[in-house]
Structure 1
Amino acid sequence: MKTSQLLRQLSTAAQRTLGEPHVLTRPSAFIRPLSPNAVAGPSRPSSIGTDFQLYPDFFGEEESRQLLAMALWKLDRVDSTRRRRRNKGLWEESEAGGAGLQSLFHGEYGFEEGHYDSVIHQYRETLLSSFPPPDKAWPDLSALMKRIYDLLPVSEPGGSYTQTGAVRGTHEQTPRGTSTHLLHLAPHGAILPHVDNLEASGSVIIGTSLGAERILRLKEKGGEEGWDIRLPSGSLYIQRDTVRYQYDHSILPYDDTGSAWQGKKLEPGHRISLMVRVSWSPGLRVCVRSDHLGRPCSVRPAMRMLLRMLVMEHGTVLYQGTAALRQSADTSLMVQVKSASNA
C-alpha cells in the first residue's frame, strides 16, 4: 500500500473529535483581545462566548491538501487569465513559493484589484454549487465536505453547533439552504473591516482556512474593542449572530503590525477560504424587484455578486417564483432568470 493511501485511510478513520472550541471569552493561544475590556466589558452581550468558535486543527495537512486542490481546480475554471496561460503552456513560479501547501500555488492568477464594495483587494472567487468529478487529488472530498456541513445548525435561527448531520448534501451537490463560496486571497491581498449584509444570507457562517496563516480581526462597530484571531491552515471557525453583525471583521494585510503572533511576523503566502453560509430559507431565491410602474429596479450589490458567480458557473440562474422569464436591470450582468417550475 502506498504511503499516501495509508495516510488518507488513517486520517479518515481517525475522524478527529472536535474537542472544546476556542472562544472569545476564554484564554487561547489563537485569540488575543485588542483591549483588556474585550473579554469582560460591562456592555458585552452574554452570547459573545458562543457566537464565535474556533477549531484550529479541524483538518490535517493531507485533508487540507485535498480541499485546496479541489478549490484551485474550481477557481481556475472561471479564471480567464489561468485559462489563457494554460492554453499557451505558460507558467510562472508562485510569488509565495515555499513548501507544503504553498507548493500547490503556481503560475499567474487573475486577481481582481478590488471588490464591488471595495472591501476585498487582490482576490478571485467562485461559488461552489456542485462538487467536481472524482479525482485522485481529492479522493475523500465528499467525506471532508460532509464534516463541514454537519456543523450547520439544525434550524435557523436557534440551532445548536453539534455534528447532527441535519443539513446534508449529495455526492454531487451542496446542501439546500446553504451557499458555499471559495475565496482566494493573494499574498498582497486583504479584506477590509466590514459587516456582512444580512439580506445576502442568514446569521451563521462557517469558514475553513487553507494555505498561509492570516489574522482575522473582530472589532466593535464604532469602538476600539475586539479580538485578533490567528487562522492556521486547516482551521475552521463558526461565526453567528452578535459577532457577525455587531463587529466589523477583516483579514489583515501582511504589512500590518497586527500580522504577527507572539512577536513573530506571519510568513506571507496564498490563502483560500471555504465559506459556508446559511440562507434565510431553503434553496436560492433570486428576486428582481419592480417599482410601482412595473419597471425593474437595480439588483442589490450583494445579490449582483452572487448572480455573477452563478452565471460564470452555470450560464443561467434559477428563479423560484411565478415569473416565467426576467432580466436584471444591470445590463452588464445579462442574467437570464428562469422559473424553477419550468426547469
Structure 2
Amino acid sequence: MSQWQRVVPGGARWALAVVVQGCPRQSRLPGLGRALGVDHQAAAANWGVQMFPEVITGDEEAVLLAAIERPLRRKRYSGAHFDGAIRDYREIFKQEWPAEAQEILDRVRARPELAEFAFNPAVHVLDLAPAGEIWPHVDSIKHAGPVIVGLSLLTQARMDFAPHEGDEARFHFTHAVTATTSTYEGNTVERDRRISLLFRQEPSPAQLDLHD
C-alpha cells in the first residue's frame, strides 16, 4: 500500500478526523469526504482519514488565536519531544476558554459528523514553528482513543500517512507534517507557523488492553 498525502489548507477552514474503524465508521459520517479528490476520497474511506471544509471563519480563527497566544508565549519552542516525534514545537492543554472561543469550539464538536463522540474536555494546542517538523509516528492509545479531530490554523501544510502495520489510519498508519517547503501533486506547498487544536477521544479500558 502506498503512502497517502493531503494538503491541509490554511485559513482555519478545515478539520481532520482520524478514525480507527475507518470503513464501518465511514458509513455513519456522511459528507466528510466532500473536499477530497476522487482518488483521495477512496483512500480516505478505506483508511479512516477524512477532512471537511468551512469549519470556522477567518474571524473565528482570530478569536481562537487570541485565546491561546498569551499562554503559548509563556513557553519556549522545544528542540525535540521525548519520544522523538516532533521538533521545534510548544504545546498546552487548555480546558478553560473565553466565552466566545468556547462557543466556537462547542459548535465544532457538535457537528453531526462528530456529535456522537465524547472528547477530552481539555483541548491539546500544538504550535509548530515555521521550521518545525512532525516525524512519522502513531499516537499512543494512552493519550487518545480511536478518534482524533484536528482544527488547523494559520497556514497550509502537507500531512503524510504511510502504512505501519494493518490498514486503518488511526493505529496502523504513521502520520507526519512535512518541513517548511514541500511538494504536493507537482505543486510547491509553503508552510509557516502552524497551530492545531486537537480534540481527542478518551480511550476505554478495553481499548487500552487491546493496544497494550
Q: Under a length normalisation based on structure 2, what TM-score does the superposition of the two structures give? A: 0.70
Given candidates 242, 245, 250, the residue that maps to 2:171 is: 245
CA shift for structure 1 position 196 = 1.0
User: How much is the aligned-residue C-alpha RMSD, in angstroms?
Assistant: 3.3
Unpaired segments of 5 or more residues in structure 1?
1-17, 33-37, 41-46, 80-109, 135-139, 152-160, 168-174, 224-240, 283-343
* 2:72 counterpart SS class: helix
Q: Report the equivalent of 2:77.
A: 111
| 8 Å CA contact retained: 2:137, 2:176 | yes
Given candidates 65, 68, 84, the residue that maps to 1:68 is: 65
CA shift for structure 1 position 262 = 4.3
Given candidates 78, 89, 93, the residue that maps to 1:123 is: 89
Distance 1:246 1:23 in 2: 24
- Larger relative contact order (C-alpha < 8 A, sep ≥ 6)? 2
CA shift for structure 1 position 61 = 1.3
Distance 1:193 1:199 in 2: 18
Q: Report the equivalent of 1:236.
A: none
CA shift for structure 1 position 142 = 2.1
Unpaired segments of 5 or more residues in structure 2?
1-28, 206-212
Given candidates 21, 25, 49, the residue that maps to 2:32 is: 21
Does residue 131 of structure 2 align to residue 188 of structure 1? yes
| 8 Å CA contact retained: 1:150, 1:166 | no
Offset from partner CA, 1:227-254 (integer Å, 9 cap, x none) = xxxxxxxxxxxxxx92110100000112
| 8 Å CA contact retained: 1:125, 1:182 | yes
| 8 Å CA contact retained: 1:24, 1:52 | no
CA shift for structure 1 position 112 = 0.6
Q: Percent identity?
A: 28
| 8 Å CA contact retained: 1:127, 1:179 | yes
Offset from partner CA, 1:5-58 (integer Å, 9 cap, x none) = xxxxxxxxxxxxx98222799617xx49xxxxx849xxxxxx626x22201321
Distance 2:117 2:171 in 1: 25
Q: Under a length normalisation based on structure 1, what TM-score does the superposition of the two structures give? A: 0.45
| 8 Å CA contact retained: 2:109, 2:115 | no
The structure number with the bigger radius of gyration is 1
| 8 Å CA contact retained: 2:35, 2:51 | no
The runs of at least 4 aligned residues of structure 1 exceeding 4 Å deviation read 23-26
Distance verdict in 2 for CA 1:65–1:203, change over 3 Å: same
Given candidates 136, 141, 144, the residue that maps to 2:104 is: 144
